[in-house]
Amino acid sequence: MGFFMFFLFTVFGVTFLLHYRVKAADEVDTAKTKVVDYEVIERVYSLVDKEFVENFNKKEFFNGAFKGIKDVLKDKRIELKEVPEFTFDETGDDVQILKDFEKKLKDVVSEYKSDDLSEGELLDAALAGMLDKLDDPYTIYLDPKEYDRLNESMSGGNFTGIGIYIELDRDLDNQLTVVEPIEGTPAYEAGLKPGDWIIKIDGKPTRGVNLDDAVNHIRGPENSTVVLTIQRKDVNEPIDFTIKRAYIHVSTVTSKLVSDNVGYIKLRLFGSETNREIDQAMTDLEKKGAKSFILDLRNNGGGYVTAAVQVSSKFLDEGVDIVSIKDRTGGKNRYKSTGSAHPVYPLVLLVNDFSASASEITAGAVRDAKRGILLGTKTFGKGSVQTIFPLDKGGAIKVTTAHYFTPRGRNINGKGLKPDIIVDMDEDMIGTDKDIQMDEAVKYLEEEIKKNRS
């Protein structure tokens, strides 16, 4: 499976992995804020040119702007007389190239802007078309509302929405897919299940939609409704779910004692509060008698790399390698464990094909250190790093700037991590009495405890 939130990005010091796992957001006007202007486009080009991890074709990048405008005109049923082509000397001065590009873009925008299609909408389409030419679903523009929601979603807390994590399944041509409905939320109560395909939102097909636009359409004010048309495995006809948005409180960590000796901790994402929450969960479970732990990373698509380092450190000795990040120049930044105040207990990490990014950093670090085992199914395989660059006029640009590697130097991008114990199971069995992955984890840990006692 492929928050795309998605999501490893850095906001100048805070790095975040985004496989783009998105949940419902706060109460906002869902209309997209149009703040893209020529200055923003120039800034985006400069950042991509300087920071994007791969070499890219600048001619295709600039001409993507006109492809984006062509697409929006087609959607509006407005005829485009001719698709312009921007040509330039790639060895020339960037300042002059940008000046010439801006002139050509202004000419096209002036020709087609109208009461039905504003300058802002045309420039937004131009920017989307440019970024699309990078062929990287993780490099995107975030308008101010999207950027605010992203920051808020990573802090846990309170939101207005339907309570659902979604992503684009790259194995199914980027089909918009339900990762997990959050227990107790409208999406959960309505009966949405992991693996459901969202084929329409309020009657509009989702084929070709990017994740951020999908999230914007699903979010909305409290007590308003959204209709999701779902195609479910083994069900012939699509099902319409009319779901009322509600006020939702979400914690990044939940925990419980699943047997006398086994503590269970589920991480929904690696957020700003995760370190505190998992530390408290471990302490509480230890007081209740836990002598081993299950760390459930199933359906966890990522989060802050700092949180991944903090979580990994709960189970690793001080100084142990957790992850290294390599940028396009070949420079590496290595993260190491800060150590833990908790006793060393047997550990199982539950993973599946929705476990990505920060989840894979944690899983890779624990296994490479031979500190615990992975149980479940192969992880997603997202090994790229995104950096968030805030823009002066609001919003931000998220750019893929590096790749990450496990402590043993493995690049898991597109490959994932194969569990030590493979237990296949449908995602909709997670958390039910038919959760055989959980059963196998408990069985394994109880046997390990017996060995340690003998």
Q: By the 8 A CB rule, do 4 and 138 touch?
A: yes
- Strand 197-201, strand 225-231: pairing: antiparallel
* CA dihedral of 372, 378, 383, 387, whole degrees rounded to 10: -90
Q: Say whether 418 is catalytic.
A: no
Residue 111's H or E segment, with its range, is helix 94-112
Q: What are phi and psi of 360, to 5 degrees?
A: -75, -30
Q: What are phi and psi of 97, to 5 degrees?
A: -60, -45
Q: Which is catalytic among the residues 133, 382, 384, 435?
A: 382
Residue 229's H or E segment, with its range, is strand 225-231
Q: Say whether 355 is catalytic.
A: no
Q: Which is catalytic among the residues 255, 292, 313, 357?
A: 357
What span, in angstroms and rounded, lies between the C-alpha atoms of 60 and 287?
60
Q: Which is catalytic among the residues 26, 132, 368, 435?
A: 368
Residue type, 355: S
What span, in angstroms and rounded, lies between the C-alpha atoms of 400 and 328?
10
Q: Say whether 382 is catalytic.
A: yes
- Residue closest to 6 by CA, chosen among 16, 15, 19: 19
What span, in angstroms and rounded, lies between the C-alpha atoms of 305 and 11?
11
What span, in angstroms and rounded, lies between the C-alpha atoms of 433 and 430?
8
CB atoms within 10 A of CB 393: 12
- State the chain's maximal CA–CA distance in angstroms: 81
What span, in angstroms and rounded, lies between the C-alpha atoms of 15 and 18?
10
As annotated, the active-site residues are: 357, 368, 382
